[in-house]
Amino acid sequence: MASILTNASALTALQSLSATNKNLSVTQARISTGMRVAEASDNAAYWSIATTMRSDNKANSVIQDALGLGAAKVDTAYTAMNSSLDVVDQIKQKVLLAKTSSDDNRAKIQTEIATLQAQLKDNIAGANYAGSNLLQTDSTDTANTKLTVMTSYTRDSSGKVSIGTIDIDFSKTRLIDSDAAGANTGMLDTEFTTAGAGAVTASILTLDVKATGLDGTDFDDMLKGVEDALKKMATGAAELGASKSRIDMQKDFVSKLSDSIDRGVGQLVDADMNKESTRLQALQVQQQLGIQALSIANGNAQSILSLFKG
């Protein structure tokens, strides 16, 4: 039935063209943004997951920065600890040499020891990074007893967030006690007393091999004090070395985890550009055909006029 009031063919063609234009708009938006889920209205579930994971990945970026800072602090302390170990070992050799030396030679040896003691203080004072010195800390400062390095940011299935850390106890790395009252609990400033005729009280930083009246027992006790310090320092170096290794491994893991999350988010929301470009071409053809179909449908209505021509 031909009607001048209702053009069913034109209505059908118009609906088809409108649907094509809508799909074309979506495809063009995907191509221009590179995303198939750019807003919650595109896919609420995927958009929500992607938004949460992006937020967590920003936290991982903070963790990476914290690990980098922590690694630098620990590496600085580790380097200074190893250097100090070498210096204390040299002091041990000088004390051993002084045991059987004359008073004149002991005075010369003490000059060398004093130089090594000054070197130790310089090494430790220089082991400062970003305001932290793990080798020179205050034993009476109960508010600061350890270095805490953030290592992870995790979210469980219920949404609860937890932060992982690596803690380095200052008491295990302290070479010099910075307590103003002179607590002297560090590995190098802890005092020991010799039991010989000299009966001196000293630490690695203050021992004096030219003191009056020193005998073999005094030197044996000095050597024992140096050996005790070396043993503690070796343990401290091992503590720092283990922490350094763990921080480095965690840095590598967090970096890979961050990349993995980025890939996972991409799988959810990124557009397949090959697919979308092919779809764009098909929709452009459909749009052209739809325009032609609408034009034909509108032309059919015009043919009714020929019925009234004489």
Residue 92 has pLDDT above 90, yes or no: yes
Domain extent at residue 181: 62-249
Contact 127, 80 (CB under 8 A): yes
Q: What is the pLDDT, as a whole number, of residue 106?
A: 96
Residue 264 has pLDDT above 70, yes or no: yes
Indicate the pLDDT class of residue 263, thresholds 50, 70 and 90: very high
Most confident of 42-46, 186-190, 294-298: 186-190
For residue 193, CA distances in Å to 29, 100, 198 come to 81, 20, 10
Report yes or no on 57 lying in a domain.
no
Contact 151, 164 (CB under 8 A): yes
Indicate the pLDDT class of residue 16, thresholds 50, 70 and 90: confident
Report yes or no on 280 lying in a domain.
no
CATH of the domain at 162: 1.20.1330.10
Q: What is the pLDDT, as a whole number, of residue 9?
A: 77
The rounded percent of the chain whose pLDDT value lies above 70 is 95
Residue 221 has pLDDT above 60, yes or no: yes
Report yes or no on 54 lying in a domain.
no
Residue 5 has pLDDT above 80, yes or no: no
Report yes or no on 115 lying in a domain.
yes
Give 34 or 145, the one with higher predicted confidence. Answer: 145
β-bridge partners, 201: 193
Indicate the pLDDT class of residue 156, thresholds 50, 70 and 90: confident
Angle between helical axes of 8-33 and 273-302 (0-180°, round to 10): 160
Report yes or no on 168 lying in a domain.
yes
Q: What is the pLDDT, as a whole number, of residue 279?
A: 86
* SS3 labels along the chain: CCCCCCCHHHHHHHHHHHHHHHHHHHHHHHHHHCECCCCCCCCHHHHHHHHHHHHHHHHHHHHHHHHHHHHHHHHHHHHHHHHHHHHHHHHHHHHHHHHCCCHHHHHHHHHHHHHHHHHHHHHHHCCCECCECCCEECCCCCCCCEEEEEEEEEECCCCCEEEEEEEEEHHHCCCEECCCCCCCCCCCCCCEECCCCCCCEECCCCCCCCCCCCCHHHHHHHHHHHHHHHHHHHHHHHHHHHHHHHHHHHHHHHHHHHHHHHHHHHHHHECCHHHHHHHHHHHHHHHHHHHHHHHHHHHHHHHHHHHHCC
As given in the structure block, the two tokens for residue 285 are 């053809």
Average pLDDT over residues 10-18: 83
The strand pair at 201-202 and 192-193 is best described as antiparallel
Average pLDDT over residues 66-92: 96
Verdict on whether the full-model pTM lies above 0.85:
no
Q: What is the pLDDT, as a whole number, of residue 299?
A: 73
Distance CA 285, CA 292 (A): 11
Backbone conformation region of residue 164, classed left if phi is above 0, alpha if psi is from -120 to 50, else beta = beta
Q: Which residues contact 286 (CB under 8 A, 6 or more apart)?
A: 20
Q: What does the mean pLDDT of the chain come to?
A: 90
Indicate the pLDDT class of residue 1, thresholds 50, 70 and 90: low
Q: How many domains does the chain have?
A: 1
Q: What is the pLDDT, as a whole number, of residue 189?
A: 94
Residue 136 has pLDDT above 80, yes or no: yes
Contact 143, 156 (CB under 8 A): no
Most confident of 1-5, 84-88, 177-181: 84-88
Residue 310 has pLDDT above 60, yes or no: no
End-to-end CA distance of the chain: 22
